[in-house]
Amino acid sequence: MKITDADLNTLNQYLTEKWNVAHRRCPVCQAENLWSISDTVFHVSEFCPGGGIILSGPTLPLICIVCTNCGYTIMVNAIIAGIVTPQSEQASSQEGPSQHAPSQEGQHHE
């Protein structure tokens, strides 16, 4: 799923609130504020021994924030950041493999 300009505004507000600008140094290369936000929401899915894909298993929508100096990547939960609602994540699952809201989202349990 591509991030819209409105989503990017939401994400920037989230990051401003949660990630103090004074603490945005890369923990690997120590570069300051060389972060790039991906324009796509990715997801990780449940590991399946043997290499298969569990189509109905839980997934976790993530936004990647990459240090452009060394490649270290921070992954932010797109639901908590306000970019993806559990409903929209389930709707997008009809276009591709799998989906469920992440189980740690206590307030979003069905």
Q: Which residues bind Zn ion (CB under 5 A)?
A: 26, 28-29, 31, 67, 69-70, 72
DSSP 25: B
- Is the Cα dihedral 77, 81, 85, 86 positive or negative? positive
70 vs 80, beta carbon nearer Zn ion: 70
User: Cβ of residue 108: shortest distance to Zn ion, in angstroms?
Assistant: 32
Residue type at position 49 = P
User: Cβ of residue 27: shortest distance to Zn ion, in angstroms?
Assistant: 8
If you search the block for the tokens 């690997």, which residue do you land on? 28
31 vs 75, beta carbon nearer Zn ion: 31
Burial call 90-106: b when 16+ CB within 10 Å, e when fewer: eebbeeeeebbbbeeee
User: Cβ of residue 28: shortest distance to Zn ion, in angstroms?
Assistant: 5
29 vs 55, beta carbon nearer Zn ion: 29
